[in-house]
Structure 1
């Protein structure tokens, strides 16, 4: 089995604005595993606020190259991979995605025909001017649920603006930007009256008690994102939230994500599968788990203008998967 990788910059169609700042793109590393003329692909997309970056991912891949590629069985490979994981969740996720796809091909289990994912996806509007929001709403035509970024627990303006153009249900992503409990509680009731379904990550990631109090008093479901990223953190803190947004990159790959979704369902939590600002490669693997979640949040490819992969289609909230392969020429290297 041969391992190679390609560093790549994903560029946004519009500047991506959050409560924490703004950026125009995201660095990524695509991983390719090859055996018997067949390929599997994975993706590590690396927002600048992470500990992991392009250099750390490539360094980890070189370790995998030296330590894991001679494993005798798939089980041995995965075991070695996760023994080396440490804090390299994004890198491990990319390798695991590529490995699982390659194994399906080798076992003649990879479906290349177009197939529909039954769970629907949201579309993210982000923050922006009225002109930008109107343009994004055109792209989001047909999506049954829209996701909106809010900067504070008193920020009514984006909701009022959106309601000038659509009455579709909304999900709020606060990105840890809210501070005041009483304002947040009052705001949740106003949001409910504006046809909002849920609030994702209102407070700082480590403010578990604050989330637990808010959950009991909020008019809306409270969903964890940054507060719960692994199965261990889910088991420890699930009672603070009504639901969880599971992201393959944060938890270390599809296998861990599936375990998190099963545990969350056992605890009657609302489940989402989300993504970072990924290309079609990463969200393809996330969408394959779609049947295990209540809602998908995998619109990453629609937010970028240089997606190098084919195989993932998202239109009006409906996902269709086909053969995952590069659509642009990528320079994969192994040193």
Structure 2
């Protein structure tokens, strides 16, 4: 088994502003595993959540240091490889885990969703993200999405550094725009909000009932994630008492342990493959969430079609898809996953179903 690593740059058509800052471009790492003439590929890179941060250079160094241990091994022997993966950081593990899954699916000639027995027709429309900005900027971004896609589910970023009054102004403007379009089209449009940890408990308890009155259907990560799991859980427990709409944990939920501690206090969790360390943990978390009655969101960072194509394999299990980052790129080097209207679908092709664009 040979490991190859290549960097590539992704540029957003519209920079994304959230409560922690603005992103316009990122550098990512393509992870390639080659064995018996089959190449599996994965994607990884740096990211931060407010209480944890990973950078590209150390992630790449982890994978390069692991390369000699992979030589002579068979990627199909996943159990024997597991001790090597468990010592990696989540983003490093993600890149390798995706490449192993891609190789496995290609060897068997099947997409992962079929190997897992999932139903690709049970896929809901993805949400499209509206970053922070002035009211005029946010409405302009909304119109741009509508020129590109049906965009029936919108996710509005809140937690503005300009304060909760600006958050309220954004919600009013967007809900009015959605109501006008919905009335013209004869269908209801859905608004979600994501504070990315931008509120304190007092502000969240004040705002969330008001958001419900405006017709917002869910609130994601209202409070800043905390490194202390007990304190982090206590924040969600206190907030749950004042939350009349579904409460979803994102930055606070990385793995199965986090899902279990948060489950009594939230209605759903956001699975992002860079946080979970790839598809293996994400699939396990999805199964446990289903048994616990938790709904799932499936999200992304500044990911290409490769990482989102990997995540798309899980879409039949997800209530709130949020795989839109590759739809906002001007230089995505990958083809896939399929897009039908505002539905991102898992590919019919083997493995992750994503290919590198020639040239």
TM surpasses 0.5: yes
Q: Give 1:193's match in structure 2, choosing from 207, 213, 220.
A: 213
Bigger helix share: 2
- Alpha-carbon displacement from aligned partner over 1:26-68 (angstroms, at most 9, x marks no partner): 2211111122332211111323665322211221111221112
Answering whether residue 134 of structure 2 is matched by residue 125 of structure 1, we say: no
SS at match of 1:205: coil
Q: Give 2:357's match in structure 1, choosing from 322, 327, 335.
A: 327
Task: Give the equivalent residue in structure 2 for 1:166.
Answer: 178
- Alpha-carbon displacement from aligned partner over 1:142-162 (angstroms, at most 9, x marks no partner): 122110100255421111221
Task: Give the equivalent residue in structure 2 for 1:51.
Answer: 53
Distance 1:70 1:138, change over 3 A: same
Task: Give the equivalent residue in structure 2 for 1:178.
Answer: 199
Question: Which range is displaced more, 3-12 or 39-48?
Answer: 39-48
Task: Give the equivalent residue in structure 2 for 1:157.
Answer: 169
User: How far apart, CA to CA, are the structure 2 residues paired with 1:36 and 1:228?
Assistant: 37
- Alpha-carbon displacement from aligned partner over 1:277-298 (angstroms, at most 9, x marks no partner): 1000000010101112212111
- Alpha-carbon displacement from aligned partner over 1:252-298 (angstroms, at most 9, x marks no partner): 11010011111112221121111111000000010101112212111
User: How far apart, CA to CA, are the structure 2 residues paired with 1:263 and 1:128?
Assistant: 37
Distance 1:225 1:135, change over 3 A: closer
Task: Give the equivalent residue in structure 2 for 1:274.
Answer: 299
Distance 1:135 1:328, change over 3 A: farther
Distance 1:132 1:198, change over 3 A: closer
- CA contact under 8 A between 2:18 and 2:158: conserved in structure 1? yes
- CA contact under 8 A between 1:175 and 1:203: conserved in structure 2? yes
TM-score (norm 2): 0.84
Unaligned runs of 5+ in 1: 330-335
SS at match of 1:312: coil
TM-score (norm 1): 0.89
Task: Give the equivalent residue in structure 1 for 2:84.
Answer: 81
Task: Give the equivalent residue in structure 2 for 1:137.
Answer: 143
Task: Give the equivalent residue in structure 1 for 2:107.
Answer: 106
- CA contact under 8 A between 2:208 and 2:242: conserved in structure 1? no
User: How far apart, CA to CA, are the structure 1 residues paired with 2:358 and 2:298?
Assistant: 27
User: How far apart, CA to CA, are the structure 1 residues paired with 2:325 and 2:45?
Assistant: 11
Root mean square deviation, CA, Å: 2.3
SS at match of 2:61: helix
User: How far apart, CA to CA, are the structure 1 residues paired with 2:296 and 2:3?
Assistant: 33
- CA contact under 8 A between 1:209 and 1:240: conserved in structure 2? no
User: How far apart, CA to CA, are the structure 2 residues paired with 1:131 and 1:55?
Assistant: 34
- CA contact under 8 A between 1:261 and 1:271: conserved in structure 2? yes
Task: Give the equivalent residue in structure 2 for 1:215.
Answer: 240
SS at match of 1:97: helix
Post-superposition, which runs of at least 4 consecutive aligned residues in structure 1 deviate over 4 A? Answer: none
Task: Give the equivalent residue in structure 1 for 2:115.
Answer: none
Q: Give 1:69's match in structure 2, choosing from 54, 68, 71.
A: 71
Task: Give the equivalent residue in structure 2 for 1:6.
Answer: 6
How far 1:204 moved relative to its partner? 1.3
User: How far apart, CA to CA, are the structure 2 residues paired with 1:48 and 1:244?
Assistant: 18
User: How far apart, CA to CA, are the structure 2 residues paired with 1:82 and 1:239?
Assistant: 30
User: How far apart, CA to CA, are the structure 2 residues paired with 1:253 and 1:170?
Assistant: 28
How far 1:77 moved relative to its partner? 4.8
SS at match of 1:63: helix
Unaligned runs of 5+ in 2: 113-119, 180-188, 227-231
User: How far apart, CA to CA, are the structure 2 residues paired with 1:117 and 1:34?
Assistant: 33
- CA contact under 8 A between 2:86 and 2:93: conserved in structure 1? no
- CA contact under 8 A between 1:18 and 1:149: conserved in structure 2? yes
- CA contact under 8 A between 1:117 and 1:288: conserved in structure 2? no
User: How far apart, CA to CA, are the structure 2 residues paired with 1:189 and 1:313?
Assistant: 37
Task: Give the equivalent residue in structure 1 for 2:182.
Answer: none
